[in-house]
Amino acid sequence: MSESQRVREAEKRTSRADGTPDDYLYEAAIYDTLWAELNELDLPFLLARAEKFGGPLLELACGTGRVLLPCAAKVERAVGIDRSPSMLKEARANLKAAGIDEERVDLVEGDLRTFELGQRFPLILAGGQPMFHLPTDDDWLATLQTVRRHLAPGGTFVAGVPVFTEEDIRNYDRRYLFSGEVRHPETNRRIAMWDFSTFDTDKQTITRRRVSEVLDEEGVVLERQHGLRVNFYRFPDQIRALLNRAGFRITREFGAYDESPYSTDSEYFIWEVTAED
């Protein structure tokens, strides 16, 4: 294969439906291994919401199905939406491996701000922190309005985000930190990861450069990959204001996934909201 053919093939594999790059291509296959600890953090909380509010349910930014597939076991039907085709490919493989009837779970590629499913759900979830992928308040409002269109009367939208403090910024800003090492689930190769994050407190952004190194068993670097990702964080008061502008009423707030109440010292801001009439 010529270099130009290789580039065209790579571009075809790395683009989303809208033609923009799929920035999860490299991490999709190792995502579940890389972020396995998230299951201990938020999954019991989200499973409890599925049991409490029932289904069908919709998960925003469902990724590999880390949250969606366990929740699907609690309800009669579940739908996941995500922009990344590589993450959805992993989700379909995980769905098959879990032995879940494919008619009970729909996986849809789409943008959180604009998708239209023609369905309404009594429960909409956002596991992890996909809301911090939204660059502007307008993007937040567009997403919240899309959520509201898909929420059944009396339905509940549940999501959460970390709360960054001055200490967090001091500890992580402009520091090269070891993120961890995993084994690739298909090749069994060692992958070591290093992060360098830069906080812009005026723009409320975190730009993370992740350096991933494929190692042999002696630790020799065989391949190195650099990836940039920007997160756009919001503070609780800002999120409350956006929820209010979008026509939501907060019914419960938590400061952790153990359901402890939110306080100014909390590490997370988690909300359950319903749409105002």
Does residue 11 register a pLDDT over 90?
no
Contact 270, 159 (CB under 8 A): yes
Sheet holding 78-82, edge to edge: 105-109, 78-82, 57-60, 121-126, 151-162, 268-275, 248-254
pLDDT digits (tens, 9 = 90+) for 77-117: 999 999 999 999 999 999 999 888 888 999 999 999 999 99
Q: Specify if 22 maps to a domain.
A: no
Q: Is 84 exposed, middle or buried (0-12, 13-18, 19+ CB in 10 A)?
A: buried
How crowded is residue 74: how many other Cβ atoms within 10 Å of its Cβ?
A: 18
Which CATH number fits the domain that encloses residue 190?
A: 2.20.25
Same structural domain, 121 and 225: no
Confidence of residue 24 (pLDDT cuts 50, 70, 90): confident
Same structural domain, 32 and 149: yes
Same structural domain, 74 and 157: yes
Same structural domain, 83 and 181: no
Which tokens is 196 given?
Answer: 């360098």
Same structural domain, 207 and 133: no
Single-letter amino acid, residue 43: L
Q: Specify if 55 maps to a domain.
A: yes
Note the pLDDT of residue 6: 39
Same structural domain, 189 and 82: no
Which CATH number fits the domain that encloses residue 90?
A: 3.40.50.150
Same structural domain, 246 and 138: yes
Query: Nearest 5°: phi and psi at 97?
Result: -65, -30
Confidence of residue 186 (pLDDT cuts 50, 70, 90): confident
Query: Nearest 5°: phi and psi at 232?
Result: -120, 100
Q: Specify if 11 maps to a domain.
A: no
Q: Specify if 266 maps to a domain.
A: yes
Contact 124, 158 (CB under 8 A): yes
Same structural domain, 201 and 224: yes
Same structural domain, 194 and 210: yes
Same structural domain, 265 and 192: no
How crowded is residue 177: how many other Cβ atoms within 10 Å of its Cβ?
A: 11
Same structural domain, 197 and 184: yes
Question: Which structural domain, as residue segments, surrounds residue 50?
Answer: 28-163+234-275
Rounded Cα distance between 39 and 88, Å, is 18
pTM of the complete model:
0.90
Does residue 10 register a pLDDT over 50?
no
Sheet holding 221-232, edge to edge: 175-183, 190-200, 205-215, 221-232
Same structural domain, 32 and 139: yes
Q: Specify if 23 maps to a domain.
A: no
According to DSSP, residue 260 is labeled P
According to DSSP, residue 246 is labeled T
Q: Specify if 196 maps to a domain.
A: yes
Q: How many domains does the chain have?
A: 2
